[in-house]
């Protein structure tokens, strides 16, 4: 115990009076392998003694940081050294945006090891009520004559959505996970804060009849993207997967299509990249309708290439390109799908919702359940059979009857 003089008691170790309280230190090994002193402070000897004991315990388990960075400094290191070299460009852009716009301005000056659950919770609560047009100076960046809200004193209340807030929390959580792994902090406080999940609006997918009407309209108008719509609706391919297809990926003789690349927008670049994981790569059987649509697309593209002449730029031999052979902007495909839907007299649904229509069309095309299982990527055939049992075969067969006739009946190869 401490005497009146305030000196250390026997066995207390390196604890001593310091300013308006006490301090202590222990020798620790840093992550760089150096031996340094690590200090702890407190208002009472008992507080410091507890911290000192904890420090010795941490030192016995492994390396201990002696200098702590700010949240902003660590996030900068994390983005440049962890995210950029190891994750997809789109992931870097998403994380960088969350750090720059939402995390850094509010938590950046805090010391990384001092960040608390309360800090994170209060930040998220505050963020939900901050107009981002004001915070980011969006209106102020416009020409003076075009300013209409925040820059002229009329806040437009452009508050971040639930999805934006969740993305910001997820970015901080991902960064702190690395901070824990690199032993800069002992726990991930962001993972202890819950945020309301954004609610997705449920949209009824097209029926087989509606999908048949859409495809029949596209065929009648000789839509250059007709084959893309066929693959989306009949194989359930995603937007990026369709746009990333190359002619090398298609084996017409075996009747198969290999999904291993996709197109994605990353900042100012359109990238033709391998699919996210090897599990995403797959050989999919091509129903006859798909094969016929791809033959039509091949003929269309040859016509485009001949018309473009020296301006043709198809470096990847993509199946779906602009009239000059360049990749199609993913956002443009979404907009064109909505435009084609209205033109066909149908209600507009998101392009991603077409995957739900795929199973009904497979029934209409009389695709064998085992082949449909591969296309739908079901792990169990029972799941596929449930889908087949629910579909009205007569109804879905009639939905594509006119389409098949318009394409010349059964193809001969």
Q: How far apart are CA 394 and CA 398, in angstroms?
A: 6
Does residue 269 belong to any structural domain of this protein? Answer: yes
Instruction: Assess whether 345 and 398 both reside in one domain.
Output: yes
* pLDDT over 50 at 145, yes or no: yes
Identify which has the larger pLDDT, 340 or 368: 340
State the pLDDT confidence band at 204, using cuts at 50, 70 and 90.
Answer: confident
* pLDDT over 70 at 263, yes or no: yes
Q: How far apart are CA 229 and CA 186, in angstroms?
A: 51
Identify which has the larger pLDDT, 352 or 103: 103
- Which residue from 191, 187, 171 is spatially nearest to 179, judged by alpha carbons? 187
Instruction: Assess whether 170 and 217 both reside in one domain.
Output: no
Does residue 268 belong to any structural domain of this protein? Answer: yes
Say what the pLDDT of residue 63 is: 79
State the pLDDT confidence band at 21, using cuts at 50, 70 and 90.
Answer: confident
Cβ count within 10 A of residue 179: 23
Does residue 338 belong to any structural domain of this protein? Answer: yes
* pLDDT over 50 at 355, yes or no: yes
Does residue 170 belong to any structural domain of this protein? Answer: yes
* pLDDT over 90 at 4, yes or no: no
H or E element that contains 37 = strand 35-42
Q: How far apart are CA 78 and CA 109, in angstroms?
A: 16
Query: pTM of this prediction?
Result: 0.62
Instruction: Assess whether 24 and 164 both reside in one domain.
Output: no
Average pLDDT for 394-403: 50
Say what the pLDDT of residue 411 is: 39
* pLDDT over 90 at 234, yes or no: no
* pLDDT over 60 at 409, yes or no: no
Label the pairing between strands 250-251 and 256-259: antiparallel
Say what the pLDDT of residue 364 is: 66
For residue 339, give its domain range: 209-406
Does residue 197 belong to any structural domain of this protein? Answer: no
Instruction: Assess whether 339 and 308 both reside in one domain.
Output: yes
Say what the pLDDT of residue 388 is: 62
Q: How far apart are CA 128 and CA 179, in angstroms?
A: 26
CB 141 within 8 A of CB 104: no
CB 261 within 8 A of CB 246: yes
The model's pLDDT over 42-58, given as tens digits with 9 standing for 90+, comes to 888 888 898 889 888 88
State the pLDDT confidence band at 261, using cuts at 50, 70 and 90.
Answer: confident
Instruction: Assess whether 304 and 395 both reside in one domain.
Output: yes
Instruction: Assess whether 185 and 236 both reside in one domain.
Output: no
Instruction: Assess whether 45 and 77 both reside in one domain.
Output: no
Domain boundary among 163, 192, 221: 192
Instruction: Assess whether 224 and 296 both reside in one domain.
Output: yes
Q: How far apart are CA 294 and CA 193, in angstroms?
A: 50
State the pLDDT confidence band at 323, using cuts at 50, 70 and 90.
Answer: very high
* pLDDT over 70 at 276, yes or no: no
- Which residue from 398, 403, 83, 13 is spatially nearest to 223, judged by alpha carbons? 403
b/e burial code for range 75-93 (CB count within 10 A of at least 16 → b): bebbbeebbeeeeeeebbb
State the pLDDT confidence band at 404, using cuts at 50, 70 and 90.
Answer: low
CB 41 within 8 A of CB 23: yes
* pLDDT over 60 at 341, yes or no: yes
* Cα 157 from chain centroid (whole Å): 26
Q: How far apart are CA 60 and CA 116, in angstroms?
A: 25
Instruction: Assess whether 213 and 310 both reside in one domain.
Output: yes
Say what the pLDDT of residue 238 is: 86
CATH number of 115's domain? 1.10.150.130
Average pLDDT for 162-191: 92
Instruction: Assess whether 172 and 121 both reside in one domain.
Output: yes
Tokens of 292: 């016929």
Instruction: Assess whether 227 and 285 both reside in one domain.
Output: yes
Does residue 305 belong to any structural domain of this protein? Answer: yes
Domain count, the chain: 3
State the pLDDT confidence band at 12, using cuts at 50, 70 and 90.
Answer: very low
Does residue 138 belong to any structural domain of this protein? Answer: yes
Query: HSE (CB half, 13 Å, CA atoms) of 133?
Result: 16
CATH number of 282's domain? 1.10.443.10
Does residue 354 belong to any structural domain of this protein? Answer: yes
Instruction: Assess whether 236 and 342 both reside in one domain.
Output: yes
- Range in 56-60, 167-171, 278-282, 316-320 the model is least confident about: 278-282
């Amino acid at each position: 115990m401490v005497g009146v003089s305030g000196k250390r008691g026997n066995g207390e170790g390196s604890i001593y009076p310091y300013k308006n309280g006490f301090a202590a230190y222990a020798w620790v090994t840093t992550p760089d392998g150096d031996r340094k002193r690590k200090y702890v402070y407190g208002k009472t000897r008992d507080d410091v003694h507890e911290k000192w004991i904890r420090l010795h315990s941490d030192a016995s388990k492994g390396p201990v940081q002696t200098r702590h960075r700010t949240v902003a400094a660590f996030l900068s290191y994390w983005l440049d050294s962890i995210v950029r070299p190891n994750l997809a460009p789109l992931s870097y852009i998403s994380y960088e945006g969350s750090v720059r716009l939402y995390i850094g301005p509010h938590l950046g000056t805090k010391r990384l090891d001092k960040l608390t659950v309360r800090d994170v919770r209060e930040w998220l609560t505050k963020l939900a009520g901050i107009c981002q047009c004001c915070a980011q100076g969006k209106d102020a960046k416009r020409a003076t004559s075009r300013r209409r809200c925040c820059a002229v004193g009329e806040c437009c209340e452009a508050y971040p959505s639930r999805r934006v807030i969740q993305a910001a929390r997820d970015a901080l959580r991902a960064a702190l996970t690395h901070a824990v792994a690199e032993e800069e902090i002992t726990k991930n406080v962001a993972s202890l804060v819950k945020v309301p999940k954004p609610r997705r609006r449920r949209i009824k997918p097209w029926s087989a009849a509606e999908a048949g009407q859409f495809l029949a309209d596209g065929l009648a108008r000789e839509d250059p993207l007709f084959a893309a719509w066929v693959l989306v609706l009949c194989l359930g391919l995603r937007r990026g997967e369709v746009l990333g297809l190359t002619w090398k990926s298609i084996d017409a003789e075996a009747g198969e299509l290999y999904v291993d690349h996709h197109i994605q927008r990353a900042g100012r670049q359109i990238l033709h990249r391998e699919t996210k994981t090897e599990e995403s790569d797959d050989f999919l059987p091509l129903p006859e309708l798909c094969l016929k649509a791809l033959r039509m697309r091949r003929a269309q593209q040859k016509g485009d290439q001949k018309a473009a002449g020296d301006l043709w730029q198809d470096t990847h031999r993509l199946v779906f390109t602009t009239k000059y052979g360049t990749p199609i902007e993913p956002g443009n495909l979404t907009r064109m799908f909505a435009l084609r839907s209205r033109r066909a007299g149908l209600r507009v649904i998101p392009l991603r919702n077409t995957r739900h229509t795929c199973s009904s069309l497979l029934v209409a095309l009389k695709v064998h359940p085992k082949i449909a299982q591969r296309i739908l990527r079901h792990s169990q055939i029972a799941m596929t059979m449930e889908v087949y049992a629910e579909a009205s075969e007569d109804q879905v067969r009639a939905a594509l009857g006119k389409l098949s006739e318009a394409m010349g009946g059964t193809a001969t190869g």
